[in-house]
């Protein structure tokens, strides 16, 4: 990559530019966008997991004062495309999963809409449903590819032969729970239809993605669809693509044309309508010689998708790039069930997919009598094991060594169950992290000179709480060689140049590169002293280095775990993450991303589990009373550190993406520390107390 930016504003500990508006409550989130005289929508959801609606009695709802309309599959506007079954809202009587939309009420107030929706009576022809994932199912199938477009299976050498001949081996099954994204701001769409024009105030990770996907479903000219999202209260992938509620809101807006319709999902509704992380069953085989050098690695994954639409989590993908071994195999098999559609959740694939292998590495270390850090160092590859390409930068060994120093790894007992403190068993554990550097093609940026040395910089990017408002301002300042106070950033609107989704930790790479390109074009055309109104465009350029290097962020996760000997209660008083993430644009917002990722990983390790009732096919604990996410009392000292430097090939900023790496490996580090504390190897997440009681 040529043309690295000289970091001046980049790297500065700048406070969030949107911080004041947020803490004073003046930053408009989707539901708060000022629209005149809005109507409100409340959905009716299926109470069976498979079958069809045979009759609906809507009179009681329709006749209620304040109700404007009741939508069912019989009277809802027809969509132009039903190709995406998740988005084919109210187009047929079929029910594909419990919780699917089967109707909706539009009313003068949210309370009337909700009450009226409860008065809609639905009769069903129920069919037997099938919602149980297991590795023994005979109908498991290999998808054509896994998310977003990786090969389903890979194989090199002779895994079984090497495994049989190995001095040391581990062969175990690891399982991760069904878990749900729960961003603070619920999914919300405010839709206003005027003639053939549609405006959506949407809580989304990408305004242009919403437009691109939703316009053809509704049969609208994309140019007449405007999507606005200046502030978003978290997404973690669940707002990375529009789900059915966006289509339902737009349909309702068509029915009450000229009047805006507000639709905010309830927390309970989110558990069936906005995606989730599939449970995984991971068979891992590791074989090594007497020195702990890996001779074979196999990772065979079974997971679920929805019968109505496929999503194939790339769970075995990270295994393809982590450690050197001549014989390697990865596979993915899916069960298509009568369940909601799974989707992205922070580090899809890499997050669950590093749990099995990184616990297996800990088991191999024990079996070989080698320190788990030393084992990882010995197996660190010189080139990407999958592609054979050199890494653009890979400082995993440095992360492990620096982490060991900071965490106090020296003197750690090689044997488990060696330390007791006042009734608590104490242990420490480590795991590696990896996350690919994605660059999405197709972002564009516009720069215009304002008065008094100021510049307007526009790009349809999203700030989902990550700090985009601040970091893109810093990048624009350096690209134009002015101070951050001279930049007037505009994001979150399809009126601005096209921007790719805030997903795959690709935002800064994709959008930042487009801004740098626009700034260089601008300076080439107008020099350092432009006239007011001078303007230039730019876009994310191709990066020829992307073909020549394997690009990943890396990290080392450390945890100290205390397990109560008599009750199995588990506590994590101390965690450390050391990351190789290239140049850090803003240490304040970056630290927050790493902390958030590690906290979410801790939450996955200890608490998060969406409990399915197979009799009805729904998630029982679909609220915050029963679905526990790590709270303050669960989170103690988390220390975040990153290696200084930059990636010379990634992008003009030298950054590698930080939104997701923090969650990868965390749960394995906690599980490994729990083993070290207790001598009990738990291979099933979450690590609840019962699993530590003999």
Q: Which residues are catalytic?
A: 660
Q: Which stretch binds ligand MOS (CB under 6 A): 41-49, 133-141, 234-242, 635-643?
A: 234-242
Structure tokens that stand for 513 in this block: 């590169």
Give the CA count within 13 Å in the CB-facing half-sphere of 384.
Answer: 21
Site string for ligand MOS, 199-228 (x = CB under 6 A): ------x-----------------------
Bond preceding residue 148 cis, omega within 30 of 0 = yes
Residue nearest to ligand MOS (CB): 237
275 binds ligand MOS (CB under 6 A): no
**Which of residues 86 and 660 has its CB atom nearest to ligand MOS in the complex?**
660
Strand partners, 618: 613
Q: How far is the CB of 597 from ligand MOS (least distance, A)?
A: 11
Task: Name 234's Cβ contacts closer than 8 Å, sequence gap at least 6.
Answer: 183, 184, 185, 464, 465
**Which of residues 352 and 530 has its CB atom nearest to ligand MOS in the complex?**
352
Q: Strand, coil or helix: what is 17? A: coil
Q: Which residue of 97, 344, 558, 579 would you call a contact of ligand MOS, by CB under 6 A? A: 344
Q: How far is the CB of 343 from ligand MOS (least distance, A)?
A: 8
Which residues in 494-533 contact ligand MOS (CB under 6 A)? 503-504
Supply the DSSP string of 620-637, one letter for each residue. TT-STTTS----GGG--E
Q: Strand, coil or helix: what is 429? A: strand
Strand partners, 574: 560, 637
Cα 600 to Cα 628: distance, rounded to the nearest angstrom: 11
Count residues near ligand MOS (CB under 6 A): 11
Q: Which stretch binds ligand MOS (CB under 6 A): 15-23, 236-244, 298-306, 670-678?
A: 236-244
Q: Which residue of 38, 103, 240, 372 would you call a contact of ligand MOS, by CB under 6 A? A: 240
Q: Which stretch binds ligand MOS (CB under 6 A): 68-76, 340-348, 425-433, 486-494?
A: 340-348
Q: Which stretch binds ligand MOS (CB under 6 A): 92-100, 339-347, 439-447, 467-475?
A: 339-347
Structure tokens that stand for 163 in this block: 């495994």
Burial pattern 352-379, b for ≥16 Cβ within 10 A else e, equals bbbbbbbbbbbbbbbebebbbbebbebb
Q: Which stretch binds ligand MOS (CB under 6 A): 140-148, 186-194, 343-351, 352-360?
A: 343-351
Supply the DSSP string of 297-354, one letter for each residue. EEEEEEEEEETTB-----TTTTHHHHS--SEEEEEEEEEEESSPPP---SSTTHHHHT
Structure tokens that stand for 11 in this block: 């790297």
Distance set, CA 570 to CA 64, 202, 347, 363, 431 (Å) = 52, 39, 25, 20, 19
Residue 518 buriedness (CB in 10 A; 0-12 / 13-18 / 19+): buried
**Which of residues 157 and 442 has its CB atom nearest to ligand MOS in the complex?**
442
348 binds ligand MOS (CB under 6 A): yes
Q: How far is the CB of 338 from ligand MOS (least distance, A)?
A: 24
Structure tokens that stand for 343 in this block: 């989707």
Q: How far is the CB of 524 from ligand MOS (least distance, A)?
A: 34
Site string for ligand MOS, 165-204 (x = CB under 6 A): ----------------------------------------
Q: Which of 347, 336, 343, 345 is nearest to 142 (CA)?
A: 336
Residue found by looking up tokens 């691109």 in the block: 212
Q: How far is the CB of 504 from ligand MOS (least distance, A)?
A: 4
Structure tokens that stand for 324 in this block: 């050197």
Structure tokens that stand for 107 in this block: 């009313």
Kindly provide the residue ranges of all beta strands, DSSP E only, lying in 246-316, ordered along the sequence.
Answer: 261-264, 280-288, 294-306
Q: Which residue of 11, 206, 216, 237 would you call a contact of ligand MOS, by CB under 6 A? A: 237
549 binds ligand MOS (CB under 6 A): no
Q: Which stretch binds ligand MOS (CB under 6 A): 233-241, 283-291, 334-342, 631-639?
A: 233-241
Q: Which of 470, 468, 455, 467 is nearest to 9 (CA)?
A: 470
**Which of residues 210 and 482 has its CB atom nearest to ligand MOS in the complex?**
210
Q: Which stretch binds ligand MOS (CB under 6 A): 295-303, 326-334, 341-349, 529-537?
A: 341-349
Q: Which residue of 193, 243, 346, 649 would you call a contact of ligand MOS, by CB under 6 A? A: 346
Q: How far is the CB of 43 from ligand MOS (least distance, A)?
A: 24
Cα 390 to Cα 135: distance, rounded to the nearest angstrom: 36
**Which of residues 205 and 428 has its CB atom nearest to ligand MOS in the complex?**
205
Q: How far is the CB of 502 from ligand MOS (least distance, A)?
A: 7
Distance set, CA 24 to CA 19, 27, 35, 46, 357 (Å) = 8, 8, 21, 39, 45
Q: Which stretch binds ligand MOS (CB under 6 A): 136-144, 257-265, 271-279, 344-352?
A: 344-352
Strand partners, 287: 169, 296
**Which of residues 503 and 577 has its CB atom nearest to ligand MOS in the complex?**
503
96 CA to centre of own chain: 24
**Which of residues 42 and 208 has its CB atom nearest to ligand MOS in the complex?**
208
**Which of residues 308 and 658 has its CB atom nearest to ligand MOS in the complex?**
658
Q: How far is the CB of 506 from ligand MOS (least distance, A)?
A: 8
Which residues in 646-675 contact ligand MOS (CB under 6 A)? 660
Q: Which residue of 301, 334, 345, 476 would you call a contact of ligand MOS, by CB under 6 A? A: 345
Q: How far is the CB of 238 from ligand MOS (least distance, A)?
A: 8
Cα 656 to Cα 509: distance, rounded to the nearest angstrom: 7
Which residues here bind ligand MOS, judged by CB under 6 A? 205, 236-237, 240, 344-346, 348, 503-504, 660
């Amino acid at each position: 990559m040529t043309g690295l930016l000289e970091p001046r504003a980049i790297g500065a500990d700048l406070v969030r530019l949107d911080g004041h508006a947020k803490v004073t409550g003046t930053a408009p989130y989707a539901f708060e966008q000022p629209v005149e005289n809005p109507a409100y929508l409340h959905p009716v959801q299926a109470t069976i997991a498979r079958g069809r609606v045979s009759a609906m009695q809507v009179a009681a709802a329709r006749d209620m004062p304040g109700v404007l309309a009741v939508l069912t599959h019989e009277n809802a506007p027809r969509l132009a495309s039903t190709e995406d079954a998740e988005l084919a809202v109210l187009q047929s009587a079929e029910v594909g999963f419990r919780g699917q939309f089967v109707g909706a009420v539009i009313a003068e107030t949210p309370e009337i809409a909700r009450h009226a929706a409860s008065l809609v009576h639905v009769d069903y022809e129920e069919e037997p449903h099938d919602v149980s994932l297991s590795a023994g199912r005979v109908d498991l199938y290999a998808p054509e590819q896994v998310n977003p477009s990786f090969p389903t299976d890979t194989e090199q050498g002779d895994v079984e032969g090497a495994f049989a001949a190995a001095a040391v081996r581990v062969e175990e099954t690891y399982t991760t729970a069904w878990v749900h994204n729960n961003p603070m701001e619920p999914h919300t769409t405010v839709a206003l239809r005027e003639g053939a024009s549609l405006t959506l105030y949407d809580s989304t990770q990408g305004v242009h993605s919403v437009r691109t996907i939703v316009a053809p479903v509704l049969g609208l000219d994309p140019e007449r669809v405007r999507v606005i999202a200046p502030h978003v209260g978290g997404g973690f992938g669940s707002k990375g693509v529009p789900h059915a509620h966006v289509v339902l809101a737009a349909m309702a807006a068509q029915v009450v044309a000229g009047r805006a319709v507000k639709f905010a999902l309830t927390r309970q509704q989110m558990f069936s309508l906005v995606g989730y992380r599939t449970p995984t069953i991971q068979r891992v085989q590791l074989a090594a010689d007497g020195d702990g050098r890996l001779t074979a690695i196999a990772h065979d994954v079974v997971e679920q998708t929805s019968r109505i639409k496929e999503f194939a989590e790339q769970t075995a993908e990270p295994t393809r790039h982590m450690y050197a071994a001549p014989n390697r195999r990865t596979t993915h098999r899916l069960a298509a069930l009568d369940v909601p559609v799974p989707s992205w959740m922070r580090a899809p694939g890499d997050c669950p997919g590093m749990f099995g292998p990184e616990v297996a590495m800990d088991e191999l270390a024990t079996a070989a009598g080698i320190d788990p850090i030393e084992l990882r160092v010995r197996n660190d590859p010189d080139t990407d094991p999958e592609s054979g390409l050199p890494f653009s930068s890979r400082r995993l060994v440095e992360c492990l060594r620096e982490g060991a120093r900071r965490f106090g790894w020296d003197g750690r007992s090689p044997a488990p169950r060696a330390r007791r403190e006042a009734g608590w068993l104490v242990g420490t554990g480590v795991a590696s992290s990896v996350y690919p550097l994605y660059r999405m093609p197709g972002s564009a940026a516009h720069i215009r000179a304002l008065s008094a040395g100021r510049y307007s910089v526009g790009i349809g990017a999203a700030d989902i709480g990550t700090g985009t408002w601040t970091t893109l301002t810093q990048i624009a300042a350096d690209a134009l060689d002015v101070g951050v106070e001279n930049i007037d950033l505009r994001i979150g609107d399809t009126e601005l140049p096209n921007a790719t989704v805030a997903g795959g930790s690709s935002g800064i790479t994709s959008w930042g590169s487009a801004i740098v390109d626009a700034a260089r074009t601008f300076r080439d055309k107008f020099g350092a002293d432009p006239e007011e109104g001078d303007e230039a465009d730019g876009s994310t350029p191709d990066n020829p280095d992307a073909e020549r290097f394997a690009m990943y962020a890396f990290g080392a996760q450390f945890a100290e775990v205390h397990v109560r000997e008599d009750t199995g209660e588990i506590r994590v008083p101390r965690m450390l993450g050391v990351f190789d993430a290239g140049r850090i644009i803003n240490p304040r917002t970056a630290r927050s991303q790493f902390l958030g990722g590690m906290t979410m990983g801790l939450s996955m390790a200890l608490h998060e589990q969406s409990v399915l009732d197979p009799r009805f096919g729904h998630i029982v604990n679909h609220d915050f009373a029963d679905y526990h996410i790590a709270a303050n009392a669960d989170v103690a000292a988390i220390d975040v550190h990153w290696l200084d430097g930059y990636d010379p090939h990634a992008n003009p900023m030298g950054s590698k993406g930080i939104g997701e790496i923090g969650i990868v490996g965390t749960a394995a580090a906690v599980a490994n520390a729990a083993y070290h504390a207790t001598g009990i190897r738990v291979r099933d997440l979450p690590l609840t107390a019962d699993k530590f009681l003999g």
